Structure 1
């Protein structure tokens, strides 16, 4: 059975593991990062005409009072999974974006140039999305609802999780997780577990962060979503 390492944080990791099992793969769940809620006040933004969300975690960790205050505004989510999370949280009008933050920024810039909006986000994020909004003259309030941190794992824990057997592929969802993989794979006790593995990246940005890890073994999903990432598992290695 093909053994697949899932590196994303929970609760997504367990959800992905179930999808892999349904397809006949053997998942090994080893989250390399975790997300935690930040203290956020339920502020009022009277001039805001819309909400932007580039990560489901931004909504998942947001206080209910904040979501309630924003729920009636049009919500622009980066992709399918984030849109589903926004709807479940209570947003009444949710638009599903193209799956990429910069592409979403382009859509928003065309529609809301010169206006004001709220951006639900994490503390760790790339500046490109906000730079694109600012260039369009959009005034935005970046509300940081969560933080992302690396998880520490001992050699013994990882060897036990892998049943001391090598894995065939690694699913990598973020640059943060990719950066955590590099020192992990270089540990002498763990090198043999990754020797024959290929690394499947959610996007070109994630693949770039994997450059020192997988070399020619890195493949990139055709779209920045999990369906496209898992589709790589059905292609010839």
Structure 2
């Protein structure tokens, strides 16, 4: 049974582990990042904003009730299915589901909101392309950071115990921060033997690029930045 290391934070890590078990893999949970809510003053939200954009489900899951209440009446544009589900569950009444990619969502919104203000619920650690594309088209983006992403540290002993001293066949990488943490782990002398033949499955090219020095033939990149595509890539491994 293929041993697959799941590096995403909870609660997503447990959901992924269940999906892996159902399809015949042996998941090993090793979250390399964790999310933490940030305080936000809902009173600072501009009253002239006409829409909300979300590219991460965590942005609404970790937002305060006061912030959601202040925004729930605005149309909400979510990047994909899971983010849209999180927005509806949080209390947004009008949610549209995007194409699953932040850049494509920005392109689809740019023509509708030029000269207007939208609130962007997001994390402190994020890739700037979504905001940059909208601002380049004249959209006034008010970013509201509702959560932070923090690295989780492990000792060599903790890693060896988690893996039962055996090598990992595959590693799933969902963020550049997790990929950077993974790069540190695989270079530790006590752990190198665990990852010598491991294949790495990254959600995007940007994430894969962090694995500098890792043999290219051991890295696979999802054609679309979503878990369904990533797991399909894992199942189709040669």
TM-score, normalisation: structure 2:
0.96
Aligned counterparts of 1:40 and 1:33: Cα–Cα separation in 2:
22
1:126 matches 2:127:
yes
Q: Unaligned 5+ residue runs, structure 2? A: none
Q: Which runs of at least 4 in structure 1 moved beyond 3 Å after TM superposition?
A: none
Q: By how many angstroms is 1:149 displaced? A: 1.0
SS in 1 for 2:99: coil
Aligned counterparts of 2:128 and 2:103: Cα–Cα separation in 1:
10
1:92 matches 2:93:
yes
What's 1:224 paired with?
225
Aligned counterparts of 1:214 and 1:202: Cα–Cα separation in 2:
17
- Number of aligned pairs? 237
Aligned counterparts of 1:78 and 1:92: Cα–Cα separation in 2:
16
What's 2:183 paired with?
182
Aligned counterparts of 2:115 and 2:38: Cα–Cα separation in 1:
29
Q: Relative to structure 1, is the Cα distance of residues 227 and 163 closer, same or farther in structure 2, using a 3 angstrom cutoff? A: same
Residue deviations 1:189-226 (CA, integer Å, cap 9, x gap): 11111111100011111111223335321111121110
What's 1:215 paired with?
216
SS in 2 for 1:213: coil
Residue deviations 1:84-139 (CA, integer Å, cap 9, x gap): 11111111111111122111111110111111110001111122211111111111
Q: Unaligned 5+ residue runs, structure 1? A: none
SS in 1 for 2:134: helix
Q: How does 1:9-158 map to 2 (within 5 A)?
A: 9-43=9-43, 44-158=45-159
Aligned counterparts of 1:139 and 1:157: Cα–Cα separation in 2:
46
Q: What's the C-alpha RMSD, in Å, of the aligned pairs?
A: 1.1
TM-score, normalisation: structure 1:
0.97
Aligned counterparts of 2:105 and 2:236: Cα–Cα separation in 1:
29
Instruction: Decide whether the 8 Å contact of 1:198 with 1:214 is kept in 2.
Output: no
Instruction: Decide whether the 8 Å contact of 1:53 with 1:76 is kept in 2.
Output: yes
